[in-house]
Amino acid sequence: MKRCWQINLQTGFGGGEAYTVFLTHALEACGIVSDVVISRQAQHWHCALPASARIYEVDTTDQIPSLLPREKSWILSHGGLVENLALSLADRHCLTGIAHMPLYGRRADGFVHHHRIYGVSAYVRDSLLSFLRADQVYPEPLYGIARIDGTSTKTLLRQQSRYDWDRRKVRDRVLGYLEPVIEPLMPRPTWQKRDGITLGIVSRLTPIKQFPRLFSLLVPQLLARREFNLEIFGAGGYASVRDLSEVLAPLKKRVRYWGHQKDVGTVYGVLDYLLTGLPEKEALGLNVIEAQACGLPVLAVHAPPFTETILPKETGMFYRDPREDDGADFLRALDALATRPQFFSNCSEIKQHLERFTADAFKNRIATLLSDPLLTFLAVQS
């Protein structure tokens, strides 16, 4: 049996973990079964991965080499690896990795010993080429897919906690234990659309999105256009939520927090426009391609990687980076959106654009990847 050993030691479940799931399905469709090494603290994998995948739990990276077979195997890490582990694996196996984040502003050390690294967008691939050898970097971007589970518009959206507690931090552990005690006493309203135009955030509230910095520049423009409301679907750590709440405070009741929602298809269906974060720390933006697949136009800064995933004037609208003009072009975009422009009108062009982010297209990219001479040893595995 042809196998791939995937390593994903993240304890949370974000875009990289969603990518791991649909990658495992695509590999299975191409005749490759996955052995997935995970952190013992991340129990979500057991219900997320296909039944064919074998899961191995570890407490430390030192336990990984002993799990692997002695014969040469395909190792695929999600993100970089610590040097001693990477050296150990690269010496005996075919070590590859997926870069889920651009390397700009980050260290490339975790990928130095990999034989091949795959970027999830051209933007990420180009960042790899800036720091690593060209022969290490796979030339084609491995774009993710718009995989929407539970797209029924009958789902009732109820407000959930806006916090995603980091159990490694003492403060978060304490507050995380207290929240379930307080939660039953808190009101949990259900979704009702308000008058006006609805801008939505559908994302984990993480530092890479830079939402506090973004809204420090956009809030004055939103105050000037009172017909726009902001609905936030997603959760984050205490500091991320605190900083965002402080910046958005001038908008008062025009902002609502809904926490993490399982049925994002329904969420996209109740919004008028999806609003992204700042671009340079983004890798691709699965929420951007999901929204477009659901027919929801996207409002984003005119920069990579969003320029790879949004078809201007058809599936979304760009505005100039507000750090360059203090949000003046964002105000222009709001005025344009207030006229309710028509999006998704060019059916053939949009279909061609969105087909790049389908499960079939992703499977074809994986099938092409498997023809890489680096992986020819897989052909002799039975």
Kindly write down the DSSP assignment for every residue of 24-77, as one continuous string.
HHHHHHTT-EEEEEEETT-TTHHHHS-TT-EEEEESSGGGSGGGS-SS--EEEE
For 54, the domain range is: 3-145+358-380
- The separation between CA 124 and the C-alpha centre of its own chain, rounded to angstroms, equals 13
- Dist. CA 310–CA 315, nearest whole Å: 6
Instruction: Count how many Cα atoms sit within 13 Å of the Cα of residue 112 in the half-sphere of its side chain.
Output: 10
197 and 48 share one domain: no
Q: Would 278 be classed as within a structural domain?
A: yes
Percent of the chain with pLDDT over 90: 84
The confidence band for 150, taking pLDDT boundaries of 50, 70 and 90, is very low
Average pLDDT, the chain: 92
Peptide bond into 65 cis (omega under 30): no
Q: Would 165 be classed as within a structural domain?
A: no
192 and 75 share one domain: no
Q: Would 150 be classed as within a structural domain?
A: no
Q: Would 159 be classed as within a structural domain?
A: no
- Which range, of 109-113, 236-240, 297-301, averages the lowest pLDDT? 236-240
251 and 228 share one domain: yes
248 and 333 share one domain: yes
Which CATH number belongs to the domain containing residue 217 in this structure?
3.40.50.2000
241 and 335 share one domain: yes
Q: Would 154 be classed as within a structural domain?
A: no
The domain tally of the chain equals 2
pLDDT digits (tens, 9 = 90+) for 306-328: 999 999 999 999 999 999 999 99
Q: Would 322 be classed as within a structural domain?
A: yes
pLDDT digits (tens, 9 = 90+) for 53-111: 999 999 999 999 999 999 999 999 999 999 999 999 999 999 999 999 999 989 899 99
- Which range, of 60-69, 177-186, 212-221, 333-342, averages the lowest pLDDT? 177-186
351 and 362 share one domain: no
79 and 202 share one domain: no
What are the Cα distances from residue 381, in Å, to 1, 31, 73, 349, 368?
Answer: 6, 11, 10, 42, 18
190 and 246 share one domain: yes
The confidence band for 230, taking pLDDT boundaries of 50, 70 and 90, is very high
What are the Cα distances from residue 165, in Å, to 48, 157, 168, 171?
Answer: 21, 21, 9, 9
